[in-house]
Structure 1
Amino acid sequence: MSDRKRNRLVLPGLTVVTLVAAVAVYIGRPDASVASQALDQAKSANTLQSLAELDGNNPTNRTLNVQTWNTAEGVKVLFVEAHELPMFDMRILFAAGSSQDGDTPGLALLTNAMLNEGVPGKDVGQIAAGFEGLGADFGNGAYRDMALVSLRSLSAVDKRDAALALFDQVIGQPTFPADSLARIKNQLLAGFEYQKQNPGKLASIELFKRLYGDHPYAHPSEGTPESVPAITLAQLKAFHAKAYAAGNAVIALVGDLSRADAEAMAAKVSASLPKGPALAKIAQPVEPASSIGHIEFPSKQTHLLFAQLGIDRADPDYAALSLGNQILGGGGFGTRLMSEVREKRGLTYGVYSGFSPMQVRGPFMINLQTRAEMSGGTLRLVEQVLADYLKTGPTQKELDDAKRELAGSFPLSTASNADIVGQLGAMGFYDLPLNYLEDFMKQSQALTVEQVKAALNKHLSSNKMVIVTAGPTTAQKPLPPPTDKPAEQPLGVPEH
């Protein structure tokens, strides 16, 4: 089991803080699969848009004709025809993330990780060989809001039907072998041991506890050392039966398919799932009191994490907060935080901010690490930068630059079939309109300084921060004064 390099799950505009994501599990793509060969041949046959052709203009934005319908079992399907490559990408999202764990942290992730460990008549090795022999790629992962499974395959009927038949077995008839469960549990337990040496992860776990209290978002998606060993096969089977039900699913489909092909495939997949309704939506979290917590850890660096409740995916201020955060700390060099903390004072290699909107209010977070003896002053500096930004809002130049950057990068969100299927999945899962991407761009480009400032102050406050630090207790030194050329830049080297 290993971390998967995931395609975008969230629509462009807001930075997804990596601390929110849990472990993803998958079968690796074959090194020299038939699908990969077809992809290379198709790419070489296409003419790329050259830099000279752009001539200062933004890259061409791909217009998506999104088609949608519901299957007989009630699964919502979003489909885009894309005949440039002889392939298709399918992604199924279930409201089956760790927020549905109940009193058993880790149940959702373990269930998802076990899907491709066995089906009737096939073990994990035979399943992997089956996909590889067809040039197909199976993927799965579990997060706080959702769990997902994905299939990439050639669109030729013989390859497509065979890959889809195996895919249907994996998601609809997992056998949850006992030996596989023991192995994956051991891998998770080994991960928990590693976490003890990772101050950033320890700080993240503590931060979510403080931010969410008794809410389902509070516990780590991978579970805890206490909860994972006790999870039983019966619990996995019960969770699969209710959380992987057709009524709890959304299908996103992109590729070299006709509408009739797509309908037939979606109907087959839908029919293979357990029968049942959507799970109840979780409640909104309660606003926590501001607090500061410290985790003692022997290191030269101190990790600083700041958070407060942000927004859910349905919030109408999404676009304004996107651009506002891009200026504060979401865009790398040139942001307010990076300029004040790194460029002028050399206190860190990087400092980043981001909203992670989910089904209910996800976190807004700022994270960085700095030399331990500078941690107190750096913490206060970050607080001051946020307070000043909320007070003044962005400048017109900052907003114009952010709009220009968004316009230039936005086409990348639909540059490939994998990108598109990720966008469709998010649109379906969060029940967004089919023209969401176009509307997002229009809203963003029309925003004024006053609108961005108002949205930031509506959702953020400099005195509501939940802060967790992880590092050694040591005598503090004063911060260096701001300068165009810091004496040492940066002061600390990332440890993890």
Structure 2
Amino acid sequence: MSERNGLRYGLLGLALLILMALLALVINRPDSSPTAAPAAESTHIESLAALGDQPPSRRDLDIQTWQTAEGAKVLFVEARELPMFDLQLTFAAGSSHDDGVQGLAMLTNAMLNEGVPGKDVGAIAAGFEDLGANFGNGAFRDMAIASLRSLSAADKREPAMQLFNQVLGQPTFPEDALARIKNQLLAGFEYQKQNPGKLASLALFERLYGTHPYAHSSDGNAESIPTISREQLQAFHSKAYTANNAIIALVGDLSRSDAEALASQVSAALPKGPALPRIAQPEEPKPCLQHIEFPSNQTHLMIAQLGIDRRDPDYAALYLGNQVFGGGGFGTRLMTEVREKRGLTYGVYSGFSAMQARGPFMINLQTRAELSDGTLQLVKSMLADFINNGPTAEELNNAKRELAGSFPLSTASNAAIVGQLGSMGFYDLPLSYLEDFMRDVDALSVEQVKAAMAKHLNPDALVIVTAGPSVAQKELPPPTDNPAEQPTGVPEH
């Protein structure tokens, strides 16, 4: 550096120091003027407490419904904010309709976009991508879904719908794609053997449901998948993917006439046939405890019993009660006692999975193997206490407030709304369900929640599956605000 540049930078640094000192003096100078105006009040909410009892705003939905000529029920919400639309078809075509061929429903759904006349899976994917559209699909115990997100402009919408209708109505189930997906599934089954949580879950559903269709996994198993033929997929598609067996949900930048036209197109493209019968209710299982020996540091604990179906009138009360017990994350009784006060687990959760038939109520956690017996007894005693005594008024009010704050997220996007519409249509819920649910939750008392939990849960009727090593057991640490041994990391898988 030259002497001239060094002098220049030295003077510049000195000037900056003087400027910073002057700014500090101005900022820190007390205001001695007796007539100084008070600082303006902040318009920002500093805390949720500032909301008081005011409920958060929620998106109002004008849900319209009708039926297509082929018998499909349609639910539609016009939403002009974005130049796009979401379409979801929900079929009563889940694994509960496998009819003894485990994995048939899942494999049929997975193969929908693998080929149509004149196009293979690559051409189908490129077709949607070139239009800025997105195809989705999935199969579960109750249902199978197929979805489309597309721009609403006619030059994009019409070819996207044409391709979507081909995928739903004319899948060719090519043999090479079928072999590839089977191999992927078989590799997944091998991986499951190293996953104690998955092994425990499979055993739990078998114990809980016995011979009921919910007993087996939607994915099938290593024995069933290789035997499924292309002809079986075609037959299942013809039977289960009919318009009479479908709910069509539409949300987005569409007029009513546009929505009617789209629904009519997709309905007409589907196979013709009746709706499949509803799933029968399962029988009550016998209480049991099954242990799966597995060489791991932690033991998975899965505790369950039959819960309710989706149309049970106690749904809101049980949902709210479970938010207090173990469904609301941190602050629930289970998380407070088992994790925060004793350091026994990374996370513990409970929940009702209400389905077309009675779904499970489940408690799921994993803990150190040498503390598994004591942890299991602790959780069982906490469940019994909650069933007998219910939540406190403070716990219930906090849960109501949490739900009031989070429930608007269920309609925060078009994708979220179309999912809600599909569920409402599939489970035959009223169009006012979203408003009814929050109204019912807000009106619930401690006594009503306690009565609902006691009616539907029995601490002496639990189906329990554990997976982990058989090791000598230790006494549980006493509860404390500072547990001696905190969870060390993410649970094992």
Q: Same fold (TM over 0.5)?
A: yes
CA distance in 2, matches of 1:403, 1:151: 34
2:216 maps to a residue whose letter is H
Q: Which has the larger radius of gyration?
A: 2
Correspondence list, 1:175-254, <5 A: 175-254=172-251
Give yes or no for contact 1:211–1:308 (8 Å, CA) kept in 2: yes
CA distance in 1, matches of 2:231, 2:148: 27
2:219 maps to a residue whose letter is E
Deviations 1:286-310 (A, max 9, x none): 0001000000000000000001000
Equivalent residue, structure 2, for 1:98: 95
CA offset at residue 362 of structure 1?
Answer: 0.3
Secondary structure of the residue aligned to 2:324 is helix
CA offset at residue 58 of structure 1?
Answer: 4.1
Equivalent residue, structure 1, for 2:81: 84
Equivalent residue, structure 2, for 1:468: 465
CA offset at residue 60 of structure 1?
Answer: 1.2
CA distance in 1, matches of 2:492, 2:426: 36
Return structure 1 stretches of 4+ with deviation > 3 angstroms. 49-55
TM-score, structure 2 normalization = 0.90
Equivalent residue, structure 2, for 1:267: 264
CA offset at residue 334 of structure 1?
Answer: 1.1
Correspondence list, 1:326-475, <5 A: 326-475=323-472
Equivalent residue, structure 1, for 2:18: none
Deviations 1:248-276 (A, max 9, x none): 00000000000000000000000000001
Equivalent residue, structure 1, for 2:278: 281
Secondary structure of the residue aligned to 1:93 is strand
CA offset at residue 495 of structure 1?
Answer: 1.3
Residues 479 and 232 of structure 1: CA distance in aligned 2, closer, same or farther (over 3 Å): same
Equivalent residue, structure 2, for 1:35: none
CA distance in 2, matches of 1:53, 1:401: 15
Which of 318, 323, 330 aligns to 1:321? It is 318
Secondary structure of the residue aligned to 1:269 is helix
2:409 maps to a residue whose letter is L
CA RMSD of aligned residues (A): 1.3
1:88 maps to a residue whose letter is F
Equivalent residue, structure 2, for 1:124: 121
Secondary structure of the residue aligned to 2:366 is strand
1:148 maps to a residue whose letter is I
Give yes or no for contact 1:347–1:492 (8 Å, CA) kept in 2: no
2:267 matches 1:298: no
CA distance in 2, matches of 1:458, 1:330: 19
CA offset at residue 52 of structure 1?
Answer: 6.5
1:126 maps to a residue whose letter is A
CA distance in 1, matches of 2:47, 2:378: 44
CA distance in 1, matches of 2:47, 2:474: 53
Residues 103 and 478 of structure 1: CA distance in aligned 2, closer, same or farther (over 3 Å): same
Correspondence list, 1:42-57, <5 A: 55-56=50-51, 57=54
CA offset at residue 492 of structure 1?
Answer: 6.8
Give yes or no for contact 1:371–1:491 (8 Å, CA) kept in 2: no
Give yes or no for contact 1:347–1:491 (8 Å, CA) kept in 2: no
Please, which runs of 5 or more residues in structure 2 have no aligned partner? 1-42
1:220 maps to a residue whose letter is S
CA distance in 2, matches of 1:364, 1:154: 40
CA distance in 1, matches of 2:436, 2:321: 18
CA distance in 1, matches of 2:278, 2:298: 40
Equivalent residue, structure 2, for 1:62: 59
CA distance in 2, matches of 1:52, 1:383: 40
Number of residue pairs aligned between Structure 1 and Structure 2: 448
Equivalent residue, structure 2, for 1:112: 109
2:471 maps to a residue whose letter is T
Residues 492 and 295 of structure 1: CA distance in aligned 2, closer, same or farther (over 3 Å): farther
TM-score, structure 1 normalization = 0.89
Which of 93, 117, 135 aligns to 2:132? It is 135
CA distance in 2, matches of 1:463, 1:254: 46
Equivalent residue, structure 1, for 2:69: 72
Secondary structure of the residue aligned to 2:57 is coil
